[in-house]
């Protein structure tokens, strides 16, 4: 005699809870980190407006999403376009709160002004932080200018804006981390610009014939 199996009805409540639990388990850390890459309103290229200072490009060496995981290399880098009258460059890093938000009222974790340079690839060591960082770079246009009767320093060009996230990142991040590590070996010397343009997929609208073939590397 074949015994028949007894099948108990599945509780709708239990089923919903199980599905929710399974869904939660399937959301991995890389997927969570991928969310800002699709939604962060960044721009890795700043400048480009009217005026000699404001028109000068600032290029964050980050993926096209403007989101980058520096990983263990713990450095960031940027390119400054050619200029006959270079102005100082200000770099500001804001740390996210525990809920991932950025509050403009908070003090930056880093705020640094670099002296003007005619052409430069600048590398900066990052402060230690377990949280995401909002990275903004802008020229200090109008410093000592005739139009500034009070002597205020203003940034009149759109800044380059990127998000730095913790973790080792994805394949694109790791490739870029290696590029930055190699550039550290060139501090105080020059580096060819074309390989960087290719690696970061920067078009002629960003890096054109007005840029030098070799660019000075400075480390801060």
Q: What is the mean pLDDT of residues 54-60?
A: 87
Per-residue model confidence as pLDDT tens digits over 74-124? 999 999 998 888 999 999 999 998 888 888 888 999 999 999 998 899 999
pLDDT at 153 over 60: no
Beta bridge partners of 82: none
CA 108 to chain centre: 16
CA 136 to chain centre: 8
pLDDT at 149 over 80: no
Q: In the CATH hierarchy, which top-level class contains the domain 37-219?
A: mainly beta
pLDDT at 151 over 60: no
C-beta of residue 42 within 8 angstroms of C-beta of residue 162:
yes
Per-residue model confidence as pLDDT tens digits over 158-204? 899 999 999 999 999 999 999 999 999 999 999 999 999 999 999 99
Per-residue model confidence as pLDDT tens digits over 42-53? 899 988 666 668
- Output the pLDDT for position 162: 96
CA 23 to chain centre: 31
Sequence-ordered list of residues with C-beta below 8 angstroms from that of 15, at least 6 positions apart, any chain: none
- Output the pLDDT for position 114: 95
Ramachandran area for residue 142 (φ above 0: left; ψ -120 to 50: alpha; else beta): left
DSSP per-residue letters across 161-194:
EEEE-SS---HHHHHHHHHHHHHHTTTTSEEESH
In angstroms, rounded to a whole number, what is the distance separating the alpha carbons of residues 201 and 180?
Answer: 16
DSSP per-residue letters across 78-143:
EEE---SS---EEEEEEE--TTS---TTSPPSEEEEEPP-SSEEEEEEPPP-SS-EEEEEEE-TTT
Q: Of the given ranges (1-10, 114-123, 131-140, 181-190), which has the lowest mean pLDDT?
A: 1-10
Q: Check: pTM over 0.85? Answer yes or no.
A: no
Going from N- to C-terminal start, the domains of the chain cover 37-219
- Output the pLDDT for position 51: 65
- Output the pLDDT for position 12: 47
Per-residue model confidence as pLDDT tens digits over 58-83? 999 999 999 999 999 999 999 999 88
- Output the pLDDT for position 56: 87
């Amino acid at each position: 005699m074949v015994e028949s199996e007894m099948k108990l009805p599945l509780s709708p409540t239990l089923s919903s809870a199980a599905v929710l639990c399974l869904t939660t388990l399937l959301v991995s850390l890389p997927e969570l980190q991928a969310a800002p890459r699709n939604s962060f309103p960044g721009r890795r290229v700043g400048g480009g407006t009217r005026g000699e200072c404001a028109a000068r490009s600032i290029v964050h060496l980050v993926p096209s999403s403007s989101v980058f995981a520096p990983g263990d290399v713990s450095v960031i880098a940027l390119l400054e376009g050619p200029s006959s009258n270079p102005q100082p460059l200000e770099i500001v890093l804001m740390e996210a709160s525990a809920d991932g938000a950025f509050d403009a009222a908070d003090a930056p974790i880093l705020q640094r002004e670099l002296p003007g340079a005619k052409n430069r690839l600048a590398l900066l060591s990052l402060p230690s932080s377990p949280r995401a960082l909002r990275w903004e770079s802008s020229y200090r246009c109008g410093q000592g200018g005739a139009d500034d009767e009070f002597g205020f320093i203003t940034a009149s060009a759109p800044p380059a804006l990127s998000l730095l996230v913790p973790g080792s990142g994805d394949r694109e991040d790791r490739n870029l981390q290696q590029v930055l590590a190699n550039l550290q070996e060139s501090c105080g010397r020059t580096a060819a610009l074309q390989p960087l343009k290719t690696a970061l997929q920067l078009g002629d609208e960003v890096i054109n014939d007005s840029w030098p073939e070799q660019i000075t590397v400075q480390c801060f």
